[in-house]
Structure 1
């Protein structure tokens, strides 16, 4: 797949950025609207196919989540007193509030990730971008860490119909616990997360000793980092050597990349010191692999820098050069006073707690575990179940081939999720 002949799908729903978690909440969906605006102002939409995706259905969501949890999300409203007794059961509260339009918001960002996966499955796009997605903390039975429906897991389940091995990479400052938990017992998906670990940092998981279990043993990779890590240490000493070994041993057929921007310096909830260009090096590495890629957003709580980061990374995906001066547009005041794409985000008050010896130790540990993989798991192929999300491009078309393995994710008779059976 030649880079200059790639086709790109960009998910752009005009309403997904208009939802509001509530006063003072750090999660601001309008960061996606700011990103879309910059993408348009930089004229990058001319190099992509722009889609306004359909909403995900309850059936789509229950491919991973429990029926009672999804049913609850579909009915609960901020003023529904009769549902408040269930808040603690489903982990709703301060971090995951019930806000107006909550379920509609979930349907929009999940539908966008599902359409992205379908585009890749049918080779209608080589790379699909959904900056509204990437909500990696949501669990099968509950919300967590500002996340209600795990669009990543649902999209990966769809990708597994056509791709024997899917690699999930997470560069959010928080551990990708929801995705790791979903695929902890399978070799069909390898999860690799680079994150802050220790000192009670949310979500508290992500030790390098969490390596998977049963069929999935050694297929969960965690790179626990300390606060203050900088560009060179992050990319040259950790990301590049780990991912080079992962690519060598696992040989994925498709990649899902979560680009949480809370690993940037100066993030409201983060504690790393990455620049936008340093963060983007990870995206460039993934693009160099010349594989089908689904790119999603994730965390990021200094809104103007999130929009800058995801705009820049869109340009890296397209191999476009952008001016550092942000074009004048309706939201230009968000980027004042400098109005540049690459401000200095380094925070000198945060000391780099990652010694070279510590980082080399982590990489050595990961490499040793990867060498225990006898080979990249192979699977048989047979008729695929229907796509979860039908699009106008291929509605009515009958898929012919799908991936299968000892760890089944689909039952051909009733299309039921079986991730818990391992």
Structure 2
């Protein structure tokens, strides 16, 4: 099967990949509030496992530069970004109207450092896209990212800034086509809406559908206009297990890669689809979840791996640690090494957990019907869309300091992470890390890939009737006013079904 796009020279799936891993030591300090299921602390727990399994020494460990206002405004509305920057827990009582307008306050609470948190996780995802665009790595990882519900003008589902959309826009500067794959239990609605009317980005979401947040993601939602058939939704029911999940994932994604031939892939690895999640109702094992990563890795296409949901935090850390190993082509021992969060993983202290005996409501005839419908939709895409060569936005330069220039052999040793969570001290100097300044420079170029540049300036136009933010590839297939009105009505009708 042809993987298309910009296949890597890495060879077969067993060959090691160059992996860039983004982590800010401060990310675990952010706190949504008492009783809130979203806990950024899980990112710190994941990092501790990576350190003690010895994975950090096999990756380029990077501290992301915080995304700037102008970076966030590539997708989000200026007044929404201004609001996020200025709101504080102390001031929120004076801004009740704004809180309601931007959907901030309940699922998406105001907490100390909210804007810095958004800048941090968005900076990691955009930084990963920049690394891939420059050909510095084969795979980029940002477990703090993947917040797929955020909209152009509002927060949603614990998500404030949609780092995924921002990263895809960065990738589109170099790649004609980008594929987005979402294995979070919740529908990736924010990303789908952003690219609903373009054939430059295909979105594929595997999710629980029915009486479940956010309520979107019907199999009949397929995109509109140029984007028709470029949105794929795989609606699932409670209790789906590894075998059932793979019976859909592999044939659908195999066909997507064959037909769409993306130049880069963004994979949202939300861990709330695991068995035993606090908010989830699926029954996937960690190995079953990670099989999706392994399969997408096998196509040898530049890959950005992001976090997402996941609310039983010990299992989130287990999952993302194991999937980092998959990205590196390394199998990890089930017996967990001693580390500062060891007691979280009792009584077994193992990397893997057994699925439960919950009922699988995804019957075979239902799965066969879903697979048949989606493969039929894909068969209507005759070939990968092409993009005419035109002027494109300026590239993002790499402004960084690579400590490997000082000592190319020093990386994480077995005892280098003993002060991992002592934030009175900096991260030990032996960590291979860089500070990526994600800055737009009018004179910058992606030197390794500049020959593949296309017209990638894709401004966002908000759908007035449904609050759907649609990317319209201007200067390629700009719709008329009537077409925009048709989009507005069509999308609104689909969302109300």
Residues 394 and 444 of structure 2 are in contact (CA less than 8 Å); yes or no, is this contact kept in structure 1? no
2:375 to 364, 367, 380: 367
Residues 148 and 162 of structure 2 are in contact (CA less than 8 Å); yes or no, is this contact kept in structure 1? yes
> Shift of residue 337 of structure 1?
1.4
Residues 392 and 457 of structure 2 are in contact (CA less than 8 Å); yes or no, is this contact kept in structure 1? no
Q: Which one has the largest radius of gyration?
A: 2
RMSD over equivalenced CA pairs, Å:
1.8
Deviation per CA, 1:30-66: give whole Å up to 9, x if none: 1000001100100111111000010000100000000
> Shift of residue 336 of structure 1?
1.3
Once structures 1 and 2 are overlaid, which stretch shifts more, 1-10 or 54-63?
1-10
Match of 1:323 in 2: 333
Residues 150 and 162 of structure 2 are in contact (CA less than 8 Å); yes or no, is this contact kept in structure 1? yes
1:135 to 147, 161, 164: 147
CA distance in 1, matches of 2:395, 2:37: 35
User: Could you list the runs of 4 or more consecutive aligned residues of structure 1 that deviate by over 6 angstroms after TM superposition?
Assistant: 393-396
Q: For structure 1, which runs of at least 5 residues remain unmatched after alignment?
A: 412-416
Determine if the alignment matches structure 1 residue 419 to structure 2 residue 471. Answer: yes
Match of 1:121 in 2: 133
Determine if the alignment matches structure 1 residue 85 to structure 2 residue 88. Answer: no
Match of 1:404 in 2: 454
Please give the secondary structure, in 2, of the residue aligned with 1:178. Answer: helix
Determine if the alignment matches structure 1 residue 303 to structure 2 residue 350. Answer: no
Deviation per CA, 1:265-315: give whole Å up to 9, x if none: 000000000000000100000000000000000000000000000000000
> Shift of residue 82 of structure 1?
2.3
Q: Number of aligned pairs?
A: 412
Question: TM-score with structure 1 length normalisation?
Answer: 0.94
Please give the secondary structure, in 1, of the residue aligned with 2:64. Answer: coil
Cα 1:297/1:104, change in 2 over 3 Å: same
Determine if the alignment matches structure 1 residue 357 to structure 2 residue 357. Answer: no
CA distance in 2, matches of 1:282, 1:5: 18
Match of 2:413 in 1: none
Matches within 5 A, 1:40-119: 40-80=51-91, 81-119=93-131
Cα 1:318/1:106, change in 2 over 3 Å: same
CA distance in 2, matches of 1:250, 1:263: 26
Please give the secondary structure, in 2, of the residue aligned with 1:112. Answer: helix
Please give the secondary structure, in 2, of the residue aligned with 1:143. Answer: coil
Question: TM-score with structure 2 length normalisation?
Answer: 0.80
CA distance in 1, matches of 2:237, 2:470: 36
Q: For structure 2, which runs of at least 5 residues remain unmatched after alignment?
A: 1-8, 402-435, 438-442, 461-468, 473-477, 480-497
Determine if the alignment matches structure 1 residue 262 to structure 2 residue 272. Answer: yes
Deviation per CA, 1:62-92: give whole Å up to 9, x if none: 0000000010000000110322221110011
Please give the secondary structure, in 2, of the residue aligned with 1:87. Answer: helix
